Structure 1
Amino acid sequence: MAKLYIFGIGGTGSRVLRAFTMMLAAGVKLDDSIDTVVPIIIDPDSANGDMNRTADMLTKYQEIKKPFENEESGFFNVKIKTLSQLTGASQTDISDNFKFEINGTHSQKFRDYIGYNSLDNNSKAFIDLLFSAHNLAADMDVGFKGNPNIGSVVLNQFTQSEEFTQFLDSFGNNDRIFIISSIFGGTGASGFPLLLKNLREMNAADGKTFQVRNAVIGALTVLPYFKLKSGEATGSEIDSSSFLGKSKAALAYYERTIVADKRLNSFYYIGDEDGGMYDNFDGKDKQKNNAHFVELAGALAILNFAAEANNLSTTNGQADNPTYKEFGIESKDVSLTFKSLGYESFTYLTKPLAQLSLFSKYLKLGLPKAMSASTIWLEEKHRGVPKSFFKSYYYTNSFNKFIQNYDEWLNELEDNTPSFKPFNHSVDFDNALELIEGYEPKKKLMFKKDAKLTLVEDRVSKTYTRYTALPNETKFVKSFYDATAEVLIEKIGI
Structure 2
Amino acid sequence: MLKNVLIGIGGTGSRVIESVIHLCAAGLGPDKLHIFMIDPDQGNGNLTRTHTLIKNYIDLRNKFQRRGNNKSFRTEIIIPPGDKQFVWNIFEESNYTLAKYINYDNIVKTKPEIADLANVLFTEKELNTSLNKGFRGHPSIGAVVMADPPMEEYPFKMLWEGIESFGANELRVFLVGSIFGGTGAAGFPTLGSRQLIKFNESMQASLGGEQSRVLLGGALVLPYFSFSVDSVSSAGEPMFVTTGDFPIATKAALQYYNDKQLGFDQYYFIGDSLAQKVGDFSTGSSTQQNKPHYIEMVSALAGFDFFGQPAQLPNNNKKYFLASRETEKITWNVLPLTRDNTGLTEYKRKFKAAIADFTVFAYAYLTYGKKELNRTHKEVSIEPWYSENFGRDFKEDNHLYNPRHNQNSDLYNVADHFLNAFLYWIASIDDGETVFLIDSKKLASGAIAPNKKLELFDPETNIGNIGELVKGDSMHKTFNAFRIEGLQEAIIKDNITAGSKYLNIFYDAATRFNTSNLVNN
TM-score if structure 2 supplies the norm length? 0.81
**Aligned to 2:257, which of 240, 244, 254?**
254
Q: Residue type of the partner of 2:106?
A: S
- Aligned equivalent of 2:269: 269
Distance 1:145 1:269 in 2: 22
- Aligned equivalent of 1:288: 289
1:136 to 1:69, Cα distance in 2 relative to 1, 3 A: farther
CA contact (8 A) 1:109 1:139 kept: yes
- Aligned equivalent of 1:308: 309
- Unaligned ranges ≥5, structure 2: 337-343, 395-399, 445-456
Distance 1:312 1:106 in 2: 44
Distance 1:292 1:271 in 2: 11
Distance 1:69 1:160 in 2: 36
1:380 to 1:232, Cα distance in 2 relative to 1, 3 A: farther
Q: Kindly indicate whether residue 29 of structure 2 is the aligned counterpart of residue 37 of structure 1.
A: no
Distance 1:186 1:380 in 2: 61
Q: Kindly indicate whether residue 451 of structure 2 is the aligned counterpart of residue 451 of structure 1.
A: no
- Aligned equivalent of 1:487: 513
- Aligned equivalent of 2:451: none
Post-superposition offset of 1:276? 1.4
Equivalent residues in 2 for 1:57-96, closer than 5 Å:
57-67=53-63, 74-84=71-81, 91=83, 94-95=84-85
Secondary structure in 2 matching 1:139: coil
Secondary structure in 2 matching 1:162: coil
Greater per-residue helix proportion: 1
1:309 to 1:269, Cα distance in 2 relative to 1, 3 A: farther
CA contact (8 A) 2:65 2:500 kept: no
Structure 1 window deviating more from structure 2 (7-16 vs 278-287): it is 278-287
- Aligned equivalent of 2:159: 167
- Aligned equivalent of 1:151: 142
CA contact (8 A) 1:4 1:177 kept: yes
Post-superposition offset of 1:491? 3.5
Equivalent residues in 2 for 1:44-59, closer than 5 Å:
44-59=40-55
Aligned residue pair count: 461
1:416 to 1:214, Cα distance in 2 relative to 1, 3 A: farther
Distance 1:389 1:483 in 2: 25
Secondary structure in 2 matching 1:269: strand
1:213 to 1:433, Cα distance in 2 relative to 1, 3 A: same
CA contact (8 A) 1:46 1:141 kept: yes
Distance 2:275 2:407 in 1: 40
Post-superposition offset of 1:410? 1.8
CA contact (8 A) 2:332 2:352 kept: yes
Q: Kindly indicate whether residue 223 of structure 2 is the aligned counterpart of residue 224 of structure 1.
A: yes
CA contact (8 A) 1:215 1:313 kept: no
Secondary structure in 1 matching 2:328: coil
Post-superposition offset of 1:104? 3.3
Secondary structure in 1 matching 2:281: coil
Distance 1:189 1:244 in 2: 13
Secondary structure in 2 matching 1:264: coil
Q: Residue type of the partner of 2:301?
A: L
Q: Residue type of the partner of 1:4?
A: N
Equivalent residues in 2 for 1:14-413, closer than 5 Å:
14-28=14-28, 30=29, 34-67=30-63, 74-84=71-81, 91=83, 94-95=84-85, 98-104=86-92, 106-119=94-107, 120=110, 121-160=112-151, 162-163=153-154, 164-171=156-163, 173=166, 174-197=170-193, 198-203=196-201, 207=204, 210=207, 213-235=212-234, 236=237, 237-258=240-261, 263-277=263-277, 278-312=279-313, 320-329=316-325, 331-333=327-329, 336-341=330-335, 343=344, 346-368=348-370, 370-371=372-373, 372=375, 373-374=380-381, 375-376=386-387, 377-379=389-391, 381=393, 384=401, 386-388=403-405, 392-396=409-413, 398-413=414-429
CA contact (8 A) 1:413 1:420 kept: no
1:254 to 1:359, Cα distance in 2 relative to 1, 3 A: same
Distance 1:70 1:410 in 2: 22
Structure 1 window deviating more from structure 2 (354-363 vs 375-384): it is 375-384
Structure 1 window deviating more from structure 2 (165-174 vs 298-307): it is 165-174
- Aligned equivalent of 2:468: 434
Q: Residue type of the partner of 1:356?
A: F
Distance 2:147 2:443 in 1: 46
1:483 to 1:123, Cα distance in 2 relative to 1, 3 A: same
Residues 26-75 of structure 1 deviation map (CA, whole Å, 9 limit, x = unaligned): 112x3xxx421111110000000111101111100000111469999511
Structure 1 window deviating more from structure 2 (272-281 vs 343-352): it is 343-352
Distance 1:181 1:242 in 2: 17
Post-superposition offset of 1:340? 4.7
Residues 127-171 of structure 1 deviation map (CA, whole Å, 9 limit, x = unaligned): 111111110011111000001110001112314551223421244
CA contact (8 A) 1:5 1:178 kept: yes
Q: For the aligned residues, what is the CA RMSD?
A: 2.9
Distance 1:189 1:328 in 2: 20
Secondary structure in 2 matching 1:354: helix
Structure 1 window deviating more from structure 2 (484-493 vs 405-414): it is 484-493
Residues 366-398 of structure 1 deviation map (CA, whole Å, 9 limit, x = unaligned): 2145333112234582565622269612211x1
Post-superposition offset of 1:311? 4.4
Distance 1:417 1:40 in 2: 34
Post-superposition offset of 1:208? 5.5
Secondary structure in 2 matching 1:7: strand
1:391 to 1:215, Cα distance in 2 relative to 1, 3 A: same
Q: Residue type of the partner of 2:470?
A: I
CA contact (8 A) 2:328 2:434 kept: no
Residues 187-244 of structure 1 deviation map (CA, whole Å, 9 limit, x = unaligned): 011101111211123117x645659943222110000111231252212522221111
Q: Residue type of the partner of 1:249?
A: A
Distance 1:348 1:183 in 2: 31
1:44 to 1:224, Cα distance in 2 relative to 1, 3 A: same
